[in-house]
Amino acid sequence: MASPTAVESLAMTHKHFLHRADSGSTLRLFPAGGATESADWLALSHAARTHADGNVYLAAHGAIELHGVHSPEDAADALDDAPLLSAPTPILASPLSTHARQLARTLASQWSAAESALPFRIGIDAGDGDILAQHPDIALLLGDTGAQLHIHGQAQSADLSDDAAVEALREAIDEESEKTDSDNAEEAANGESAAVQNPPIGWLADHLPAGRVDLGAGLHRGILPADFAELIGRLEVDITVTPWQGVIFHDIADGDADVVLRVLAPRGFIFDVNSPLL
């Protein structure tokens, strides 16, 4: 993929525009912790179909992109009514952890509308190492007795409460921002996500009550046609975008999950963790 030649942020909604030789004008979003709602996918499908090349792209580090954007302002306007909480930099969170995703959203909600793109990645790891493996510049490692702040891979604190952890994380972000060149903000989202041994693909039920399941799906090269983006928006379930170009459909009844799998598998959603297309 060609390197972007310019970056612009629409600060009111943390939408980032890149200009690439291979895909033209690209709109990039960083959903906090990968968390999205059904309405987000309906808006994304409309924007992709109307103002871009007709696909929604899942990129590295949990980003969502539209490529070949004809009119950046119109594409941005098409997403303004969506509830998507998009951050000025990747905030990765363990995708099966409600706690980690919520902390990511809490952090993202504290940024002002005028905040510009940040030149580093942030992570919130639920304790299994999946997010620390992505080498975030600043991270929280959650445990049974609290959260621990990590900066550049080194533990910085004893266990903190959620409120104290978010405050410590924000202070660390402010300190790193002063030391880091903001012109390099795009580098935080470039490169591939680090692979994990057991990506969240397939029927994921061990962490949920009996009768409920999360469904994890991969997408070949992260490409999702607008019609299929609209389809998953019609499911009316919470959806997490993973750092590995996949999605997780959350908290579905067993019987409903089986129907969802049967509908989506023929449309390119990959539920087999051993698929060569992942």
For residue 175, the Cα-to-chain-centroid distance in whole angstroms is 24
Is the confidence at residue 12, as pLDDT, over 80? no
**What tens digit of pLDDT does each residue of 172-212 get?**
999 988 887 655 556 666 778 898 888 999 999 999 999 99
What pTM was estimated for this model as a whole?
0.91
Higher per-residue confidence, 9 vs 200: 200
Sign of CA dihedral 187, 86, 56, 203: positive
Domain positions in the chain are: 10-87, 91-190, 202-270
Edge-to-edge strand order for the sheet containing 223-225?
7-10, 15-20, 24-29, 64-66, 55-58, 223-225
Read off the DSSP letter of residue 14. Answer: T
Structural tokens at position 171: 């202070």
CATH architecture of the domain 91-190 equals 2-Layer Sandwich (3.30)
**What tens digit of pLDDT does each residue of 219-250 get?**
999 999 999 999 999 999 999 999 999 999 99
* The predicted structure's pLDDT at residue 191: 74
State how far the Cα of 188 lies from the Cα of 145, in Å rounded to an integer: 30
Structural tokens at position 148: 């621990």
Contact 51, 75 (CB under 8 A): yes
